[in-house]
């Protein structure tokens, strides 16, 4: 298998995972996204989707770890910060959630 085949497979798996996640097929999405992350553990968007899936499954601590991985790879991604803030809020960590939400808004506004 060539590098271009690997990239094609990675893109296919990522798109399949993102689509499954958007359709609420959480376990299917997680299956695809975990394959993406095995192929490329530095795929920030895949870490974000994994966090979303884990959050939906009620695995908030694991979701936070996934969001942290995404943030480490792409610290200016407002979507990841927003998603992490929502999970923190679910966990009753309102102050942490509020601070992260404010940062996400500033990033989104280009401040």
Its pTM stands at 0.91
The pLDDT of residue 32 is above 80: yes
Burial (CB < 10 A; 0-12, 13-18, 19+), residue 40, is middle
CA atoms within 13 A on the CB side of 63: 24
The pLDDT of residue 5 is above 80: no
State residue 104's pLDDT score: 94
State residue 89's pLDDT score: 97
Tell me the domains of the chain and their CATH numbers: 3-108 (1.25.40.10)
Other CB atoms within 10 A of residue 109 CB: 8
pLDDT digits (tens, 9 = 90+) for 39-76: 999 999 999 999 999 999 999 999 999 999 999 999 99
User: What is the chain's alpha carbon radius of gyration, rounded to the nearest angstrom?
Assistant: 14
Taking Cα atoms as reference points, which of 54, 53, 103, 36 lies closest to residue 75? 103
State the average pLDDT over residues 76-98.
97
């Amino acid at each position: 298998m060539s590098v271009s085949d690997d990239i094609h497979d990675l893109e296919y798996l990522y798109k399949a995972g993102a689509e499954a996640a958007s359709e609420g097929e959480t376990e299917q999405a997680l299956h695809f996204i975990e394959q993406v992350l095995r192929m490329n553990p530095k795929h920030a968007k895949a870490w974000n989707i994994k966090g979303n899936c884990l959050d939906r499954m009620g695995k908030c601590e694991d979701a936070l770890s996934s969001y942290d991985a995404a943030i480490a790879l792409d610290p200016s991604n407002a979507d990841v910060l927003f998603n992490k803030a929502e999970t923190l809020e679910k966990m009753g960590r309102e102050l942490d959630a509020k601070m992260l939400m404010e940062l996400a808004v500033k990033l989104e506004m280009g401040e």
